[in-house]
Amino acid sequence: MEKWEKSMKEFSNPETPQSVEDRLMTTFEKLPKKRKRPKMINGLIAAVLGLSIISGATFMSPALASTLKSMPFMDSLFELFGDEGVQHADKEGLGTEIYEVFEYDDKRVTFTNYIYDGNRFALEFKLDPYDTILPEEKRPYNAFPHAFYINDTFLNVPSINIRSVKMADGSYTGVMTFSPSIDLPEEFTFGMKDFPKSDDWFGQINIKHNTKNTNIVLDKFKKYGDIEITYQALSFTPLSTALMLDFKNESKMYNKLFDQNKNINFFVLDDEGKILDLLNISSHGPNNSEMNFDYKGILEPLDNPPRSITIKPYLTRINDTGFEAKEYQSNWKGAPATIATADDWKLEVSNVQRNNNDLQLTLKALGDVPYRNLTVKFEDDKGKDYWSEPIYEKIIDNKYEIQLVFKDVPQDENLDIFTKIYEKPQFIEELEIEIPVEE
């Protein structure tokens, strides 16, 4: 297990690929500052109870910003550092260029572009070098203030996703994405303060809705025991697919689930059974015995709205460190095969394709099996790991299927396949809903 966790950490926090590093360095090497090797920092931060943390990069003059925009590989920081939805919206040419500078505590951050779809918004930013005694892994998340606002409303749970890179001069550049649980207006002022009751603004940005949306009002009620769900709305945009619902779970049901170490969650599937990737979850509501709260799930965007969307709530067991999972290992000869694992289930490997040293394949779970691989990797006889990137995940006739691609896998290697898999979720059919999507 230690080996798995170590290799997962290395995979999840890679150094900047040399090609990207070289291009970034070419852009910034003219700055008259000390050269230092940059390193990629990927951060996913859920900020709660008003404590918000972010990441950043270099101050740019309008002239330098214009120069960067004119360079083909720096067309957009959204392209380099945005999540799946941000990159999708960027490819459609969306975004509003701005030039807003926030200054506070001897720090300066410059915002140069935003995308906003009514559900969440993304900002390109650059942060000047700054002094701190904190170690590298804590930077630049400590560089930003603790209070974010939409107009005059303090974001108690701003739900921030940050991806950034440290540059040669010690500055940071990247993208921050906010997915607040509150309803957002068509236009608002985004601002930062040092703390909620302060009268001093570090800066404010006027943000307007700048995407095309397909919105569906649902108002569908479902009940299972003491769990009540009102499916409120669906929204399809180039930046996200958003699901809004009202969740009510009376205390006795909550206590029962808690005693069983279980949690309720949702799969959202399109009309072909594809599971939409979950980019962010946020919720808010009163802390009372009925456990009422509003839930907003931000999922990957779709090129076109599907004919229907199916929402499958389920119960899954959790432990102190997260969802319970089992690890399996089996040898693979490089051809389609059925791989026997432990317990009473198997994996079918099919659609094996090679593109130079990239390996693409489909895994289907056979028998009474768990759903959703936490991750899949190959390991050669020298102990080198090859990690997968999912192309899609589907549930078809209640059977799980995933298509994966593995990078730089030599064709002559003898490989072991490793899977670390959640236990099978308990679907709650009484809460399931299929929603037709009208053109």
Q: Is 226 found in the same domain as 290?
A: yes
Residue 315 inside a domain? The answer is no
Residue 342 has pLDDT above 70, yes or no: no
80 and 224 in a single domain? The answer is no
Q: Which of 181-185, 264-268, 280-284 has the lowest mean pLDDT?
A: 280-284
Q: Are residues 203 and 218 in the same domain?
A: no
pTM for this prediction: 0.70
Peptide linkage before 140 cis (omega within 30 of 0): yes
Confidence of residue 55 (pLDDT cuts 50, 70, 90): very low
Rounded distance, CA 46 to CA 44, Å?
7
Decide which of 162, 184, 208 is a domain's last residue: 208
Statement to judge: residues 21 and 141 lie in one domain: yes
User: Could you give the residue ranges of the DSSP H alpha helices within 130-265?
Assistant: 251-259
3-class SS at 87? helix
Supply the pLDDT for residue 300: 92
For the four alpha carbons of 50, 207, 237 and 234, in that order, the dihedral sign comes to positive
Residue 144 is classified by DSSP as S
Do residues 166 and 48 share a domain? yes
Outline where 242-324 has alpha helix (H). Answer: 251-259
Average pLDDT over residues 245-258: 72
Kindly state the average pLDDT of the residues 238-263: 78
The residue segments making up the domain with residue 418 are 325-422
Mean pLDDT of 156-182: 86
Same domain (yes/no): 184, 89 = yes
Contact status, residue 311 vs residue 435, Cβ threshold 8 Å: yes
In a domain, 128, yes or no: yes
Q: What CATH number does the domain containing 418 carry?
A: 2.60.40
Confidence of residue 336 (pLDDT cuts 50, 70, 90): confident
The CA distances from residue 274 to 371, 390, 401, 403, 434, in Å, are 13, 12, 9, 11, 14
Using alpha carbons, select from 239, 238, 231, 307 the residue that is nearest to residue 266.
231
Question: Do residue 245 and residue 356 come from a single domain?
Answer: no
pLDDT per residue over 237-246, tens digit each? Answer: 999 999 998 8
431 vs 6, residue with greater confidence? 431
Domain count, the chain: 3
